[in-house]
Structure 1
Amino acid sequence: MKKWSGSAAVCINKNNEVLMVRGKDSNAWAVPSGGIETGETPESCCVREVKEETGYDVLIKNKIHIKETLIDEIEVITYYFNVEIIGGEIEINDPDQTIIEAGWKSISELHNLEHMYPEDIAVIKKSGD
């Protein structure tokens, strides 16, 4: 069976907002994430994806979740990390050109958003506690 591994970043600011991105042709939001490239650790993938998708430089605080699922007969493992911003500003440099918007979304309003991965809401909320 084919396998895919990726990393995702949960970044919550002092206003209790989470950093999220939206892809083109979609109204659904998700935390910044992407596939681990050859030679990359899950941690370095997470830092790179946040930079590409949002423009922010981040520092990993800790690993918070591992999601294992099956999508179209592909085994998918995604590593979730709590991160904090250490520099940069919102600027999208996604080489895949799939991300069209990045922004801060209130954790208390998450249930009102359309989510690409609704199962991530619990991970985000737990991370913010």
Structure 2
Amino acid sequence: MARVFTKAENQAWSKTLPGKMCSACLAIINENNEVLMVKAGYKDHWTFPSGIVEEGESPKSAAIRETLEETGLIVPDEHVKLLAIIYTTGKDGDRDRFNVGFATQLKYASGNIVVPNAEIEKVMWVAFDKVAELSGGKRSYEEFQRILLKDDDLYIEV
């Protein structure tokens, strides 16, 4: 099981990153209109497959890379659509951050979900209206939930 980082350790690490912090996530939607959420061993909440955008990497590439690393699913770039860009201000010593969300349909992914792994303890498919609650009330996930619920038929075929 992965170790949970303390708030101080996370803040010290994030201060080593250049410029504004940027994270990217990928909402994978199944045929039942549920979205895949993952629980990392070092976090106390659920997220979409996600992570920090590395230097020289696009947010879309980061979301696709993190999805592969965290779930084992391979998602082709051409089937990934921008969901939202959300700016959140840091609180309690955290850095401000851009959260870039993308979405795709499960039918475009290949591979099998492989969990647990070095980073992720659990995965589950959840109804759109549970996203914010499972994220621990993260503002970006409240916005992602609002967008997912607003669009009755989130059409992602690109």
TM-score range, shorter chain: 0.7 to 0.9
Greater Cα radius of gyration, structure 1 or 2? 2
Which one scores higher on RCO, CA 8 angstroms, separation ≥ 6? 1
In the TM superposition, residue 41 of structure 1 has moved relative to its aligned partner by 0.8
Give structure 2 stretches of 5+ with no counterpart. Answer: 1-17, 154-158
What SS class does the counterpart of residue 43 from structure 1 fall into? helix
Q: Counterpart amino acid of 2:126?
A: K
**Correspondent of 1:9 among 16, 22, 26:** 26
What's the TM-score once normalised by structure 1's chain length? 0.79
**Correspondent of 1:114 among 115, 134, 140:** 134
In the TM superposition, residue 73 of structure 1 has moved relative to its aligned partner by 5.0
Number of equivalenced pairs: 126
Aligned to 2:12: none
The answer to whether residue 96 in structure 2 is matched with residue 80 in structure 1 is no
The answer to whether residue 93 in structure 2 is matched with residue 69 in structure 1 is no
- Closer, same or farther in 2 for the Cα pair 1:127/1:63, shift >3 Å? farther
Residues 32-58 of structure 1: CA distance to partner in whole angstroms, max 9, x if unpaired?
111011221111101001111111111
Aligned to 1:101: 122
Residues 94-125 of structure 1: CA distance to partner in whole angstroms, max 9, x if unpaired?
6xx442112212335x1795323252322332
More strand, by proportion = 1
Of all paired residues, the percent bearing the same amino acid is 29
Preserved CA contact (<8 Å) 1:17 1:104: yes
What's the TM-score once normalised by structure 2's chain length? 0.66
Separation (CA, whole Å) in 2 of partners of 1:22 and 1:47: 17
In the TM superposition, residue 18 of structure 1 has moved relative to its aligned partner by 0.4
Separation (CA, whole Å) in 2 of partners of 1:89 and 1:35: 23
Separation (CA, whole Å) in 2 of partners of 1:67 and 1:10: 15
Q: Counterpart amino acid of 2:111?
A: G
Q: Provide the aligned C-alpha RMSD in A.
A: 2.7
